[in-house]
Structure 1
Amino acid sequence: MKIIYKGFKLAVFITVCTFLLQHYCLPVVQAANDISDRGNIAKEKRASAKRKDSKRFISIDFNNVDINVFIKFISELTGKNFVVDNKVKGKVTVISPSKISLKEAYRVFESVLEVHGYAAVRAGKVIKIIPSPEARTKNIETLLQGKTDFPEDKIITQIIPLKYANASEIKKLFTPLISKSSVILDYSPTNMLIVTDFQSNIMRLTRILKAIDVTGIGHEISVIPLEFADAEKLVKILSSVFQPKKAARKGASERTITFISDERTNTIVLLASEVDGLRVKSLISMLDKPTPKDKGKIRVYYLEHATAEDLAAVLQAQTPGKGKAPTKGGKAPLLSGQATITADKATNSLIIMADNEDYQVLEEIIKKLDIPRAMVFIESLIMEVNTNKDFKLGTEWKAFGEAHHNERDGAAGGGFSGDEATALAGLATSGTLPSGFSLGVFGETINISGIQFPTIAAIIEVYKKDKDVQIISTPQLLTTDNEEAVIYVGKNIPFQTRSTAEGGVETYSSFEYRDVGTTLKITPQISYDGMVRLAISQEVTKLESTIDFRPTTLKRTIDTTVIVDDNSTVVIGGLIDDKFTETETKVPLLGDIPLLGWLFKSRKKEREKTNLYVFLTPHVINNKADAENLYKKKKEHIDEIGKGSIKMYKTNNNANSSISPKPDER
């Protein structure tokens, strides 16, 4: 019986345990697993959101907006909660030409706060925006040395343990290098520094500390302010004296003397033994002197050909700005120091203040730029020709095709504009020309109506008496390469701009004088292959009528750029003037009789169309010999014209013969 009873109790116990396990323990385990799964899903969602934010880039551009508006923008952008102190005020300007990530945008936000004297301090799930002096007493982030990664403009407390240097001495050294509202403490028992400042400045201090916290028995730290010398340049000199380049640099811990220059305060931080320190300080005292007057950096360079004002602007652009380092990835400036170049217009000289190294570079550049420039003598002819006149230019007027400059002949033109102009071969043109213009290029002779003229002067002599040809102007210009030459021939005409009258009688009138005539502006540019680029701006203004000081003018302009050979002629035509005239002829007295007078008078209406042509011939003058040759050629042409014999050749004859123009052609 006892055995049966014990077996029954065991069976009941197993049954109860099985029931409890199925109804209580398994659901609890399942619930725990579900909670764990939900936590993992939440973590994955947060990680996915962070990955999306890291790939999101934005553009920040604010111009003089309220700082509270900027804080609200960052809050909505990053999803962070900010509590803003009432003392936070001011205007913010942020310029970001390229897009940045959200993480970088928050760093920009911290930098803006630092510039305006505020700081962001985290307090639980919110971030407080308070003045920087108050932030140093709040619960800010505390970091150990070596734990900082990227410098940010947020206030932190950095604990810096020292290995070899004395904490109190380092405190004295770093005190001038931190802002006035920052805090630096030394803890002697553990030889540590406790610094509360912006993280970017703390990282600067740690870089300096890395160089000076090295082994050395009896070494001491000295801060040496400079009065005249430049700290960075003086450190280079000291390093070359006390640490020769031929000695191998094994590591900072093995150096006996260490120099650090602080550009902001113009001081030198020295780590050396007492004996070496005295030697270094003695040398510094000898070098930190004002520059002697008789050996100063100021020099005067007298120019022979270039203009002082223009050359000074070019050279000054090569000097680095004060305190400005070369941009990353950009070209370093040609000059190493601070050079100043000033132009003296009266003596056409340059006043240069630079050290010997920079002056040698400047002197070499000046010698290459101060050279005699070539000149260009430009013959021009502006004339109007009646369209009824047999005035055929012996050049191929076309919009497409090849211009054969090697054969001293070629052309381009004929009513084209826009992109078609760029398709021209053999002649480069650009600028603004009226619709329907023509442009051609001759060789060294000009072909008109089957007759070849040697020069523009020959054309003038032949057509100066022709009633169908009106020579408006024949300007001749001499200018320097790449310098504009301007000539104006005309009158200064009064134009009535305002008048007042009382009782029907004019009592007061005001006039404005305007130029009416021919204006020609040409800027030549000589290329290395002898071609001449001409930037042409030509304007012809004529009076149409004058009624009570209210004249009507007709203006025709050309603005274009052409490239021609030296001594070749370019002609621009196609500017048509359409003028209507009415003439009346009558028999005196009889023609004035009403009605019957028409039997003794007549009226004639005529339409006259004229074409404006502009001929230009550039002659390059590189030296005195070229000028003399040009003078001889011009003198020969003048002598020929004076004798009444001009060398012209008919193009349809195989044998060229000298002819003179017929009377009806004059």
Structure 2
Amino acid sequence: MNTGQALIRALLAACMAVSAAGCGELPPYREGEALSAEGKNEASLERFETAAKAQPTNARYRAAYLQARDRTVNGWLDEAARLRQTGKPDEARKMYERVLALAPENARARAGLEQGERDRRHASLVQQAEDALKKGERDTALAKLHLALAENQQFRPALALQQRIEQPTGDSPERALSAAFRKPISLEFHDAQMRQVFEVLSRASGLNFVFDKDVRTDQKVTVFLRNSTVASVVNTVLLTNQLEQRVLDGNAILIYPNTPAKQRDYQPLTVRTFVLSNSDAKDVANTLKTILKTRDIVVDEKRNMIVMRDTPDAIQAAEKLVAVHEMPEPEVMLEVEILEVKRSRLQDLGIQLPSQLSLTPLASSSGGTLTLDDLRHLNPTRIGATVSPLNVNVNAAVTDTNVLANPRVRTRNKEKARIQVGQRVPNVTTTSTATGFVAENVQYVDVGLKLEVEPTVTPDNEVTIRINLEVSDIISQVQTKSGSIAYEIGTRNATTLLRLKDGENQILAGLIQDEDRVSGNRVPGLGDIPALGRLFGAQSDNKLKSEIVLSITPRVIRPAQRPNLGSAEFDSGTESSLRLKSSMLHERSEPAPNPVAPGAAPTPSTEDTLRAHPRHAPAAAAFRSTGWRRPGRDTPGRPRPSAPRWISRPAPRRRTR
């Protein structure tokens, strides 16, 4: 008795253990599953973490915790990206730090923090550019924007400010030039030495000019420029005398001959790396080689990157060309509805009478072949008869089929998208060799509906779509002599090119296939009697009608962009000299100085300034020899011009008798 009770207790304990193992889950785990089903990832993560800590060796709890952590982290990362894109960097940084606190090894969060730091640095550069622009320091503002765009070519605040700065002139000035290079000036020199012209420019602007040893400073120069700038005068003199310049610093300019040897010696070169996102590196490299004549360029196809080495002007021009190539490709969502309607009517009604009677003499009674004597003694018992069966057909079948496909396809500009709805039918072909070996080859044929679309998005948000529609179905099966089965396939095709507006719907219909087949087996004469003819024959009426309707609606997801004016059009210099401006001829001059108030001390002239310093005596003599004067100061009642003016007249010729 005691043994039986002990056995019962052991069985009960085993049952309780099995029950606990099967359904003895911890309450935090069950609560976490319920919260996860409701989409509350953060709350479920806390419950799963509690369950995993309670039973560290439970693999099920550990897996649930890791899955909940991944869902929560992904949600936080998406939220951080949204905050960063909407201009809330501080909140995005807190979200990334929250992710790293939960998953310290998350590379996406670390990259987000680094990107946030770059965004803050770029925003600071943009703010500095704004402040410089308010002070009138246009060059400094563009230099700050260049630093930001060098790291992020798509930084929108920097692009917007750059476009606003470049909009009036269509290009940016040289960065290293000081404000003195844009001072207003008027010059009139006739057959003056180049040394004299640059000495006047140096005293008027405060710039320093350094000449290469091969520059002829005594060659004659004729210049007539009024209300111009120092930059325009320098550029004009250099351009007309086959000279080139290099900006050494904010106040010094080197003048050297424009020859290939001197270009190699003095022309500065810059290395620039372009990492492309929306264009192909080969195409961009071909553009740079063709437009800028750049020779030192390397294409990294693996990284889709371009490295080029050229002059600063060529680098700036390349940045504008790359910005045009890097505009995102337009994308369009195609909402397609395809409806295939099939209607089939089959009626098989009538009596199919025997159509064939066969009489065959039976074999000889002796078991041998049939002889003429056997034919002479033929009787009804010696003739076999075969009659085809009698069939009564009463059948009517009605079939209505609607095949609907409603795909939504997103594709890029000028990229084909293919939609296929149907099945692949095997088609078996048999080949035999001279040795008698027979091999079967199976080829699959696509049967059903195939649609190919190729959209082209225009800048005015219209979509040109090239449509190729093909509808095929199996008509019948054909059995070959070798026993293989082939299929007879019917096909309907439609190809068109249409242009729709964004959101405009277009319906293409009319692909109709209408079949009406009548087949019968009748008794001649009697089967043609109306109504009663059905008693003397069988007739099958089969009507089949199908129609294809296609509805397509394009919706532009990313519209086509037009390049801004600064990138679409800019001055590139001459055929022999690449310059973003030619070169600063369009630079706007500074406002003219205010007139001197009555009673105020007059401003000393440039000639007086030169005379006051003994080391500038040759320059003062040059001023006197060129006949410099300031209009408005020597002529009473004449208004003062907006810029100083220098006039050079040739020395009068002496008459000899």
Please classify the TM superposition score into its range, dividing by the shorter chain length: 0.3 to 0.5
Greater helix proportion: 2
| Structure of greater relative contact order (alpha carbons < 8 Å, 6+ residues apart) | 2
TM-score normalised by the chain length of structure 1: 0.32
Return the index of the structure with the highest Cα Rg. 2
